[in-house]
Structure 1
Amino acid sequence: MIEPHGGRLVDKVVGDKYADQLRNEVGSGPRIDLSVSQYQDAINIATGRFSPIDGYLTQNDFLKVVHDMTLENGVTWPLPITLDVDSTVAEDLTPGEKALLRSPAEEPIGVIAVEEVYKHNKDDTVEYVFGTADQDHPGVANYLNQEDFLVGGPIYLFDEHRYNSRDLLPAESRVLFSHRDWETVAGFQTRNAPHRAHEYIQKSALEQADGLLIQPKLGDKKVDDYRDDTILGAYETLIEEYYREGMVALSVFPSQMRYAGPREAIFDAIVRKNQGCTHFVVGRDHAGVGDYYHEFGAQRIFDDIADIGIEPLFYDYAFYCHSCDGMTSEKICPHTSEEQVHPSGSRIRSLIGEGEQPSTKMMRPEVASYVMNVDEPFVTEDAPVGGVQ
């Protein structure tokens, strides 16, 4: 089984006895109410999905990640995992003491051992992390909307938390892969309902691995992205109809979309490494948005960083070709663009939004029917992404 990133799977979920001790220590002291995204990060830290990180980043780690894509100890880590608070909360926090963490439902879920409270230069950070300060970029806008103070220190959760019933924690996925005798596992990241190009790439990856982990990223997304429940239901439909039994594991990655392009591709690969994957699929414009990144920048970045211990699988454009009479890719198809039907995610969402079923050359009919029968398939200002269960 592949080693977790940094060599050890972090486990910051404490037993009942220590949880009671922590509750007594924090008493009526300061508390921090977590947003959904902060709560997701807490789950991911405590259950090892973000190994080797064991808490929200302190200032030295934060600066190293932003500027060098490594932690202070030299381990590759591309995105800052931070806990932002306003000035009122910051004033109540004392390094060396603990603060209570509360879920979005205002339930006490754990504590943070405060090591530092520090200000961050948001304008500088977005330039490095996103490569732009343009506030039309949704990741930039979200980051600039953070509070001015960051709290760093290890966390401890009182209980094991899951984003929903499909949340297969890293320790569990590793047991599952071992039980199924999967020595090699390809991880697939998505924020969309599956179309034919996704299926083609996934099955191509399965030709190189014993099993496939399909793990949609569920959490805060921009308007017009698919809602969480839509993505999961669509994948359940595809797997049931078009995959051999026992070849695919469907889980979730509870995390906001940061739209950080190449950096997020490295981040997503590390997460799948911690889940137990040996390979990770990197397609066109991974975690990109608009025209902010080169369409294959997310693949090229793997050549620019130290080996992170998981093998990236690079894929070109996939599409249906009338002359080939099937799904293929730019790498192997000799025919002209007039013969090609590209299953564009934005085009499919537009068709569904207009009540028109996408062509079977773009999306499996069972999947399209499922999505079209969902009352609110897409994120809107009024329709939430999904929910913590």
Structure 2
Amino acid sequence: MALSRKNKQITIQKNEFEILSLIKEGMLGTCTHLMSEEERDEVAQTGKFRGEITPYSLTFSPLLSEKIIEQSRIGDVLEFVCEDKVVGEITLKSKFKTSKNVKDIFSPNTCSLDDLGKFCIGGEFEIYNSHIKKIKEDFIRVKNNINAQKITAIVSSFDPLHRAHERMFRWTIDKADLVVIFLIESYGENGLEFSVKQKYLQDFIQKYLPPDRVFVFPLKNIDIFHSHLNPVLESVIAKSLGCTKLVVGQNHTGLGMFYYHNQPQTILDDFSKECGIEIIVLPEFVFCEECKMIVSTKSCPHGLHHHMKYNSNSLRNLLRLGIIPPSVFMRREISTSILTHLFPNRFKNMQKLYNDLFVTSEIVERRKDEEFYEQLLKTYQMTYMV
């Protein structure tokens, strides 16, 4: 929508726009507006909003428009502007000072108020052309088409997608009518681009999983999930979409797993009981040299010196160095997709290189980088000579 001059305008960032879209669609709890000061204090004191567990208050302090907020009055209509476009509006119902004792949904990992505005705004708001709304509608359509009752959620960056993820997918699909994969942004500068991850994830689902029973919900340009510091927030978005289970790995950064009377406990146990969503904590998956297959550390009788681990950081570092991970770690289609993106037009004489090394038909075919990587990986797997 073009810029309008009839109302005061608040400039927001892309991340803030996406979070507002999640709030409006009720995907961060039952609250679909920006909270007032009283509601914020309720969350700060009880950890709940109207009886529902809420990890962060849904308050907003627009840093880029402090003067406009300060000059605004209750009842004013303020337009949200993102990337020079009007993307929504809010009818100002309350305005109050920020508090250093409260972490809001827009800056959950901020330790100080140095990067926050002076005032929070509260009230009902609208978001125009929300793609989050469209994705949610697509999900509901898929859910209704298969009459899904048991819906399981997985939240991960899949950076990169490796064999242990595959094991988790198949285990989850076996026990659910529908699996929702929340694809989140990668953490840190070394992460892969979102579009690359989305492509190889969708390609993998179409080729190796029942696509009608897996729904990918992309959370692009949203950084509140990418550090995996608050699994309760992941549980909230899964519950808000109607999921009955959430699957997490025991190595989840913010899980806080401990044992009490020899039984595993996590910080999600209370949330699970109160909100009616089952939390399943999967053990770590490894490849055992003795078992000759992917196993869990809980079920394998062999020691750690026989286990090859699926470490995402190490696999990503190999790929960024241009090294193809062995197929025992990752499927060749995923490796080739990532390498082609990281090293575009890497080979100057691709056609000659391919023809000189590999079997070709008599018809001259134009080869791509992906085909070279795939053929190279196939050759690595040949066992003619040891």
Range into which the TM-score falls when normalised by the shorter chain: 0.7 to 0.9
What letter corresponds to residue 55 of structure 2 in structure 1?
A: P
Distance 1:240-1:299 versus aligned 2 partners, 3 A rule: farther
Shift of 1:32: 0.8
CA shift digits 1:232-257 (9 cap, x unpaired): 01202321332134231222124223
Residue aligning to 2:9: 31
What letter corresponds to residue 248 of structure 2 in structure 1?
A: V
What letter corresponds to residue 147 of structure 2 in structure 1?
A: D
Shift of 1:334: 1.4
CA shift digits 1:190-223 (9 cap, x unpaired): 12332111221121111211221112024x8532
Shift of 1:320: 1.4
In the superposition, the TM-score normalised over structure 2's length comes to: 0.76
Task: Trace 1:48-87 onto structure 2 (pairs within 5 A).
Answer: 48-71=26-49, 73-86=50-63, 87=66
Q: Is 1:331 aligned with 2:301?
A: no
CA contact (8 A) 2:179 2:215 kept: yes
Instruction: Tell me the distance in 2 between the aligned counterparts of 1:201 and 1:354.
Output: 27
Shift of 1:168: 5.4
Residue aligning to 1:95: 74
Q: Is 1:182 aligned with 2:118?
A: no
Distance 1:74-1:32 versus aligned 2 partners, 3 A rule: same
Residue aligning to 1:47: 25
In the superposition, the TM-score normalised over structure 1's length comes to: 0.76
What letter corresponds to residue 56 of structure 1 in structure 2?
A: L
Instruction: Tell me the distance in 1 between the aligned counterparts of 2:16 and 2:258.
Output: 30
What letter corresponds to residue 182 of structure 2 in structure 1?
A: Q
Q: Which protein shows a greater Rg?
A: 2
Identity fraction in percent: 18
Gap runs ≥5 in structure 2: 345-386
Aligned equivalent of 1:270, options 227, 236, 239: 236
Residue aligning to 2:123: 153
Residue aligning to 1:112: 90
CA shift digits 1:19-40 (9 cap, x unpaired): 9xxx9xx962321111111100
Shift of 1:186: 1.1
Shift of 1:144: 5.0
SS at match of 1:252: strand
Residue aligning to 1:16: none
Residue aligning to 1:358: 325
CA RMSD of superposed structures (Å): 3.1
Shift of 1:138: 9.8
CA shift digits 1:109-141 (9 cap, x unpaired): 22112122222233x346x99xxxxxxx99336
Distance 1:125-1:45 versus aligned 2 partners, 3 A rule: closer
SS at match of 1:277: coil
CA contact (8 A) 1:96 1:113 kept: yes
Count the aligned residue pairs.
333
Gap runs ≥5 in structure 1: 1-18, 130-136, 378-389
